A and B are shown apart, each in its own frame.
Chain A
Amino acid sequence: MSEASTERPEGVPVAAAPDAGYGDVVLAARDIAKRYRMGSESIDVVRGVSVELRAGEAVAVMGRSGAGKSTLLHMLGLLDRPDTGALSIGGVETVGLSVGERAALRNRQVGFVFQFYHLFGELNALENAVMPLMISHGIADWSRVGRDCRRRAEELLVELGLGDRLRHRPSQLSGGERQRIAIARALVGHPSLLLCDEPTGNLDEQTGEIIESQLFGMARRHGAALVVVTHDPLLAARADRTLHMHDGRLEDAE
């Protein structure tokens, strides 16, 4: 597998967004690829993925374990840099951006939800949910906008049914409740892109289902393009379209 991984093989279609019914293109990836080197060996985890996402659209990504789904998601969310290819988010071309610029863009445009919640144990639900806004505002700003930011986080938590859990620490909450805090946190900064890596993978079926419907509903209401990596076909069925990650490539499910 030493040939250039940037070349998209013939016959693999671009996972383009449907033309009608959705908002602007919020994410456009062209031929992005990622290769991990381990000594003399190298693994092409992602080999030339092109994808477009529009506001309000929900996309499920499936594929077997190790297919490179998480890696792709990290690249789409600017956490990881593709080795080759181009990626624009909200109309901003990201290839030439500095680390700081990528962080700022990520803060404004992207919300992440992970399988293992990743909440701060020292903070309560409300503080966890408002954290992205704290990151985008300096101390001086905060005294002005802090109240509004907290209200925004509180509204999201209430919307997710956590109105009576605002002051609870993650350790005092169930898995489903924690994941809802993570969803509120991902949406608090009005991102155009909501990236979820197996958001229900750690929850029982019933809770997972509730979280799923909340996730899809919230993303739609808040106008974010949703990408959900999942192993669950039921969850995938909720999406507007499902893409399959196979051998480092993304294919439309027929």
Chain B
Amino acid sequence: MFRLFLAVRYMVSRPVSYLAVAAIGVAVMALITVWSIMNGFLGETRAMIRGTTADIVVTPRESQRSPWSRERLETLIVGVDGVEAVCSRFVRPAVFKVHGTVWNRMNSSLMATSNQLIVLGIEPEDELEVTKLRAYLDDVDDPALAVADAEAPFAFERSRILDRRLRNAGLGRVILGEDIMVNHDLRPGMALELVTATDGDPFATEPQIAASSQTFIVAGAFNTGHYDTDVRQVFIERAAFKAWSGVTQEASEVYVRVSADIGQTDAAGLDQVRDQISITLAEDGIPAVTQTWLDRHRIFLNAVENERNILAIVLGFFVLLTCTITFSMLTMMVQEKVRDIGILAAMGASPWGITAVFGACSGMVAGFGGLLGMAAGTTLVIYINQVKDGIESLFGIQIFRKDVYAFTDIPAELDLMLNAKVAIVTVIFSIVICSWPALRAGRMDPVDALRHE
């Protein structure tokens, strides 16, 4: 009984023990918060990548020896077990110019990058089956920028074309990422030029390149929530894409949606479908690269995960460092309590009992510190965005910049099991490093301790 009783009394009467509790608490809180936010980032990043790509992407290569048709390709892929739907898409880089403005503006270094686009040529009905296009069309922040009909996004009434002269020109429609619209002050009904390099004649002896330009009417915006995508990508219809770019190929890539039970959770299942597609295409002589969404973004996802782990290790060391406060606290305390140790022995406390008194001190400090840190960290993670908003409005700064992070809310994912583990490791580590002064206290010769001045 005396062990805990005395340990509690020793602790509550010493200010340094509160300091140690606070230090461990702050460290544990920092670790938990950073870990949760990094996990949130990872989750958000995965979700975003997931949303802007398909479960599996097949990139066929043009082949002179065995030319393939889009129909053949799609049929083969759909035939694979676990595949639900496919859509063929074209992808091509382009620059654009808002109709009626001067090209000179593009010389500005700002424009030089913001005018670069990735143009995707899609079949809306197929695309809606495979990707989240429908949701992105609905998620547009400014209703004035939305497409008129998300079911038929490219249908844009001629009467709404702003430049009357273009109303009867039979121009293609373009759907842009909302951030492009906002950055360039674009509205539905406006016209813009898309410029790209055509493939040219593959059999020409001289390398040649030619530009191709066409005017498109802005039909509306989409919003993936992923800034990089929303500031870069535009959709045009497949047929319009072919006419504009002069492409001879049937598809740049084929997006594949697998059945929900495989797609949502099971990375191994996804790999299996991927391999099956590869085999099927190879058997048919179609050269293609088949990748799951994880394959395609592995480096980026690994980088985020790596960053998280490095931060966790650094902060883990920080936590362990604060645990050494308990060590120095206990060492000083044993020094100070030599006479108490003597009298404890005289009253019949065993060496182990005396060790336990001091062990309990370090255990309590680390335990309370760990619990405090866990509670504070968990609370902070839950209210992280309120805290962020509070700080932002208090100091008039923007902590979380949309253009840097692609999300405005801080994503945080609570991992209570991990939080508990952090607290437990803190306690165990403290007790382990504090066992030295505690054992020293127990081993002290009681007679020497009593004679201690």
Chain A residues proximal to chain B, CB less than 8 Å: 71, 74, 77, 79-80, 99-100, 103-108, 110, 112, 114, 116, 118-123, 127, 131-132, 134-139, 141-142, 146, 185, 189
Contact of B346 among A79, A99, A121, A146 (CB under 8 A): A79
Fill in one digit per residue for B322-350: 1 if any A CB lies within 8 Å of its CB, else 0.
Answer: 00000000000000000110111111111
CA distance A146 to B5 in the complex (A): 12
A contact residues around B342 at 8 Å (CB): 118
Q: How many residues of B contact A (CB 8 A)?
A: 25
CA distance A146 to B446 in the complex (A): 27
Interface stretch among B6-14, B80-88, B398-406?
Answer: B6-14
Q: A114-B450, A141-B1 are in contact. Are A122 and B346 (CB under 8 A)?
A: no
Chain B residues proximal to chain A, CB less than 8 Å: 1-2, 4-6, 9-10, 13, 339-340, 342-353, 446-447, 450
Contact call B347/A132, Cβ cutoff below 8 A: yes
The chain A residue with its CB closest to the CB of B346 is A112
SS class of chain B's interface: helix, strand, loop or mixed?
helix
Contact of A139 among B4, B13, B348, B350 (CB under 8 A): B4
Q: A79-B447, A123-B9 are in contact. Are A136 and B343 (CB under 8 A)?
A: no
A contact residues around B13 at 8 Å (CB): 121-122
Highest count of chain B CB atoms <10 Å: which of A100, A114, A135, A189 = A135
Q: A80-B447, A122-B10 are in contact. Are A135 and B346 (CB under 8 A)?
A: no
B339 smallest CB distance to A (angstroms): 6
Contact call A99/B351, Cβ cutoff below 8 A: yes
A contact residues around B345 at 8 Å (CB): 79, 103
CA distance A131 to B357 in the complex (A): 13
Contact call B5/A135, Cβ cutoff below 8 A: no
CA distance A55 to B10 in the complex (A): 37
The chain A residue with its CB closest to the CB of B445 is A80
CA distance A108 to B350 in the complex (A): 13
CA distance A100 to B442 in the complex (A): 12
CA distance A115 to B339 in the complex (A): 13
Contact of A122 among B2, B9, B447 (CB under 8 A): B9
B contact residues around A108 at 8 Å (CB): 348
The chain A residue with its CB closest to the CB of B354 is A103
CA distance A189 to B2 in the complex (A): 14
A contact residues around B5 at 8 Å (CB): 127, 134
The chain B residue with its CB closest to the CB of A98 is B350
Q: A80-B447, A99-B351, A100-B352 are in contact. Are A106 and B346 (CB under 8 A)?
A: yes
A contact residues around B344 at 8 Å (CB): 135
The chain A residue with its CB closest to the CB of B12 is A122
The 8 closest A-B pairs by CB, nearest first: A107-B348, A134-B2, A142-B1, A118-B343, A122-B9, A103-B350, A106-B348, A112-B346
The 17 sampled A-B contact pairs (Cβ below 8 Å) are A74-B450, A77-B346, A79-B446, A80-B447, A103-B345, A103-B348, A103-B349, A103-B350, A106-B348, A122-B10, A123-B6, A131-B2, A132-B348, A134-B5, A135-B1, A135-B2, A135-B353
A contact residues around B346 at 8 Å (CB): 77, 79, 106, 110, 112, 114, 118
CA distance A182 to B369 in the complex (A): 36
Contact call B339/A136, Cβ cutoff below 8 A: no
CA distance A49 to B1 in the complex (A): 37
Contact call A79/B450, Cβ cutoff below 8 A: yes
B contact residues around A136 at 8 Å (CB): 348
A contact residues around B351 at 8 Å (CB): 99-100, 103
